[in-house]
C-alpha cells in the first residue's frame, strides 16, 4: 500500500480505503501477510460444466431428477386453474399470492413447527435463496454453505459477489463446531438443507437441530436460510432452525414432489426479510403466475401425490443400494432423498471406470469445495434388478473406501 501511494502520489489512507472498497465489493480477496489478489470472475455456467455426457446405451444415474413414474399428471390441475382464470382474469395489481395457497401452506408449516411469519412465492428454491441473500448482504460478505452441498448454491454465492465459507456435514446435517468457526470467522449468513440434502442425503436430526440452534443463538445477527426442498418425498420429520436469529427465511419447493417444471417455492420468514423480497420482486417479474399457484392448490387438495408412498419408494431404493455396497466393503451415505454419496480415493478414475462399465454417475467435484473426493448416484429410478450389478461395479471402480469421513 505504501509503494502504491508513493507511485500515485496520494495519501496511504486513500489507498487503504480503495483496497477496503474493492474487498467489500468482492473484487479482491485479502490473505493477511500473503497479500491480496483479484478474485476470479464469477462463472455463469459454474459446476454445470462438470456434468457428465451420457453415451447411448449407458444407464444414467447422474441427473438428480425424481422418478417420472412417481410424479402426478398435471393436465387436470392446470385445466381447472385455467378455467377459473377465464372467469376471473388476473390483472396488474392483483395480490401476488393466492389466498388458498397461502392458507394451505401456512397450515403445513405450522404443523411442522416453522415459526409464524408472512408468506410469499418465488420461482423455485434457488430463486428464493438468491432473493433472500440479495435482500440482506453486500458484495464481499461471507455465506456459510454446506460442503459437500448443492452445486448451484455453491455457484450462486460467488455469482452474487459473496464469499463461500465451507461448513462440513455428516448424516445429521451441518457440524455445529464447523458452523461456529464459520460464524466466528465472519460469515454473515448460513444456508442449511433441512432434509434430502444434495448430494449426501443428510437430514437435520432433533439433536443436531438443538446444537445448531445453540450456535446460532450466540450469533443472532446471522441471516439464516433453510431449504426444505425434500418436503413430500422424505419420511423423516422436520426439525426447523428458523426463528433463532433476527433475520431468517424458510423455503419449501414443490419441484421434487410434483415436477421440476413447476417453478414454485414457498418462502416465509421474518417481516423485514419477506417485505424486502416482495419489494424487489415487484420491480422485476412482479409475481409468480397465479395460474401455476392455483394448479398447485388443486394438486394439493386432490391428493395428487401419496407422499408417504413416494418417500417409502425412494427410501427402499436408497437403502437397498447402500446395503449392497456395504456387503462389498463400500461405505455410502444417504439418510434421505434421492441420492447416495460414496467417498472414493480417485473420483475421476471411479467415474471413468463406471462409465466404461455402463453406469453414468455424477463426479463429486460438482458438489465439493474442500471436502474429500466422492461420487453421487441418483437412485430415483434404480430398479431392484440393477442394484447388485451396480454395487459390484462401484466396488470394482472405487477401490477400498477411504478411511476418513465424507466431511
Establish if 368 belongs to a structural domain: yes
Establish if 403 belongs to a structural domain: no
**Percent of all residues in the chain with a pLDDT value above 90, rounded to a whole number:** 82
- Work out the burial of residue 240: count CB atoms within 10 Å of its CB; fewer than 13 is exposed, 13-18 middle, 19 or more buried: buried
The 10 Å Cβ neighbour count of residue 207 is 10
Residues 280 and 205 in one domain: yes
Residue 27 pLDDT class (50, 70, 90 cuts) = confident
Residue 179 has pLDDT above 80, yes or no: yes
Contact 148, 363 (CB under 8 A): no
Q: What local confidence, expressed as pLDDT, does residue 302 receive?
A: 96
Q: What local confidence, expressed as pLDDT, does residue 17 receive?
A: 86
Residue 235 has pLDDT above 90, yes or no: yes
DSSP code per residue over 260-304: TT---EEEEE-HHHHHHHHHHHHHTT-S--HHHHHHHHHHHHTT-
Distance CA 145, CA 157 (A): 9
Q: What local confidence, expressed as pLDDT, does residue 34 receive?
A: 73
Give tens-digit pLDDT for 255-291. Answer: 999 999 999 999 999 999 999 999 999 999 999 999 9
Residues 288 and 324 in one domain: no
Establish if 43 belongs to a structural domain: no
Residues 181 and 320 in one domain: no
Residue 31 pLDDT class (50, 70, 90 cuts) = low
Residue carrying C-alpha cell 448416484: 377
- Work out the burial of residue 277: count CB atoms within 10 Å of its CB; fewer than 13 is exposed, 13-18 middle, 19 or more buried: buried
Residues 215 and 320 in one domain: no
Segments of 175-330 assigned E as strands: 187-193, 223-227, 247-253, 265-269
Higher pLDDT, 29 or 367: 367
Residues 236 and 279 in one domain: yes
Residues 91 and 59 in one domain: no
Establish if 115 belongs to a structural domain: yes
Mean pLDDT of 30-53: 65
C-alpha cell at 82: 385455467
Establish if 94 belongs to a structural domain: yes
Higher pLDDT, 37 or 190: 190
**Torsion (CA) 320, 324, 325, 329 in degrees, nearest 10:** 150
Helix (H, G, I), strand (E, B) or coil at 296: helix
Q: What local confidence, expressed as pLDDT, does residue 10 receive?
A: 87
Give tens-digit pLDDT for 106-141. Answer: 999 999 999 999 999 999 999 999 999 999 999 889
Which CATH number characterizes residue 326's domain?
3.90.1150.10
Contact 196, 315 (CB under 8 A): no
Q: What local confidence, expressed as pLDDT, does residue 51 receive?
A: 64
Segments of 260-402 assigned E as strands: 265-269, 339-343, 359-360, 362-363, 374-378
Residues 276 and 175 in one domain: yes
How many structural domains are present in the chain? Answer: 3
Higher pLDDT, 47 or 229: 229
Q: What local confidence, expressed as pLDDT, does residue 42 receive?
A: 54
| 368: DSSP letter | -
Residues 181 and 234 in one domain: yes
What does pTM read for this prediction? 0.88
Distance CA 58, CA 156 (A): 31
Establish if 44 belongs to a structural domain: no
Give tens-digit pLDDT for 327-336. Answer: 999 999 999 9
Residues 335 and 274 in one domain: no
Residue 195 has pLDDT above 80, yes or no: yes
Residues 169 and 318 in one domain: no
Give tens-digit pLDDT for 133-174. Answer: 999 999 889 999 999 999 999 999 999 989 999 999 999 999
Q: What local confidence, expressed as pLDDT, does residue 19 receive?
A: 83
Residues 289 and 348 in one domain: no
C-alpha cell at 119: 408468506
Establish if 406 belongs to a structural domain: no
Among 301, 318, 348, the domain-final residue is 301
| 64: DSSP letter | -
| Cα 68-69-74 angle, rounded to 5 deg | 70
Among 301, 330, 360, the domain-final residue is 301
Average pLDDT over the chain, rounded to whole? 92
Residue 23 pLDDT class (50, 70, 90 cuts) = confident
Give tens-digit pLDDT for 59-100. Answer: 999 999 999 999 999 999 999 999 999 999 999 999 999 999
Distance CA 236, CA 248 (A): 23
Residue 37 has pLDDT above 60, yes or no: yes
Establish if 45 belongs to a structural domain: no
The 10 Å Cβ neighbour count of residue 74 is 18
Domain encompassing residue 59: 50-71+306-398
Distance CA 252, CA 271 (A): 18
Residues 110 and 58 in one domain: no
Residue 199 has pLDDT above 70, yes or no: yes
Among 271, 301, 331, the domain-final residue is 301
Which CATH number characterizes residue 226's domain?
3.40.640.10
Amino acid at each position: 500500500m505504501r509503494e502504491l501511494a508513493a507511485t500515485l502520489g496520494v495519501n496511504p489512507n486513500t489507498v487503504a480505503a480503495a483496497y477496503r472498497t474493492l474487498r467489500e465489493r468482492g473484487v479482491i480477496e485479502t490473505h493477511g501477510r500473503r497479500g491480496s489478489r483479484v478474485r476470479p470472475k464469477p462463472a455463469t455456467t459454474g459446476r454445470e460444466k462438470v456434468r457428465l455426457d451420457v453415451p447411448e446405451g449407458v444407464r444414467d444415474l447422474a441427473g438428480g431428477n425424481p422418478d417420472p413414474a412417481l410424479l402426478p399428471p398435471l393436465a387436470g390441475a392446470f385445466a381447472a386453474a385455467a378455467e377459473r382464470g377465464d372467469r376471473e382474469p388476473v390483472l396488474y395489481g392483483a395480490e401476488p399470492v393466492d389466498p388458498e395457497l397461502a392458507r394451505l401452506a401456512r397450515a403445513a408449516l405450522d404443523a411442522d413447527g416453522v415459526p409464524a411469519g408472512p408468506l410469499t412465492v418465488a420461482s423455485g428454491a434457488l430463486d428464493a435463496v438468491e432473493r433472500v441473500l440479495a435482500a440482506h448482504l453486500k458484495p464481499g460478505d461471507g455465506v456459510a454453505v454446506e460442503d459437500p452441498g448443492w452445486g448451484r448454491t455453491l455457484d450462486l454465492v460467488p455469482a452474487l459477489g459473496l464469499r463461500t465459507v465451507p461448513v462440513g456435514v455428516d448424516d445429521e446435517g451441518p457440524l455445529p463446531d464447523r458452523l461456529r468457526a464459520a460464524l466466528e470467522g465472519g460469515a454473515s449468513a448460513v444456508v442449511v438443507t433441512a432434509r434430502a440434502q444434495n448430494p449426501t442425503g443428510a437430514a437435520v436430526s432433533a439433536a443436531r437441530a438443538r446444537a445448531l440452534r445453540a450456535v446460532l443463538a450466540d450469533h443472532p445477527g446471522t441471516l439464516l436460510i433453510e431449504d426444505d426442498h425434500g418436503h413430500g418425498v422424505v419420511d423423516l420429520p422436520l426439525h426447523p432452525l428458523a426463528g433463532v436469529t433476527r433475520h431468517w427465511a424458510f423455503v419449501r419447493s414443490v419441484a421434487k414432489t410434483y415436477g421440476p417444471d413447476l417453478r414454485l417455492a414457498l418462502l416465509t420468514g421474518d417481516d423485514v426479510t419477506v417485505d424486502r423480497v416482495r419489494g424487489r420482486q415487484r420491480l422485476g417479474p412482479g409475481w409468480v403466475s397465479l395460474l401455476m399457484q392455483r394448479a398447485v392448490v388443486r394438486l394439493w387438495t386432490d391428493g395428487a401425490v401419496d407422499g408417504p408412498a413416494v418417500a417409502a419408494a425412494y427410501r427402499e431404493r436408497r437403502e437397498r443400494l447402500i446395503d449392497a455396497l456395504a456387503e462389498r466393503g463400500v461405505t455410502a451415505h444417504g439418510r434421505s432423498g434421492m441420492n447416495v454419496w460414496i467417498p472414493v480415493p480417485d473420483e475421476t478414475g471411479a467415474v471413468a471406470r463406471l462409465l466404461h462399465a455402463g453406469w453414468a454417475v455424477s463426479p463429486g467435484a460438482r458438489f465439493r469445495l474442500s471436502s474429500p473426493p466422492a461420487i453421487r448416484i441418483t437412485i430415483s429410478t434404480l430398479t431392484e434388478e440393477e442394484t447388485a450389478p451396480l454395487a459390484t461395479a462401484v466396488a470394482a471402480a472405487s477401490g477400498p473406501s477411504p478411511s476418513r469421513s465424507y466431511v
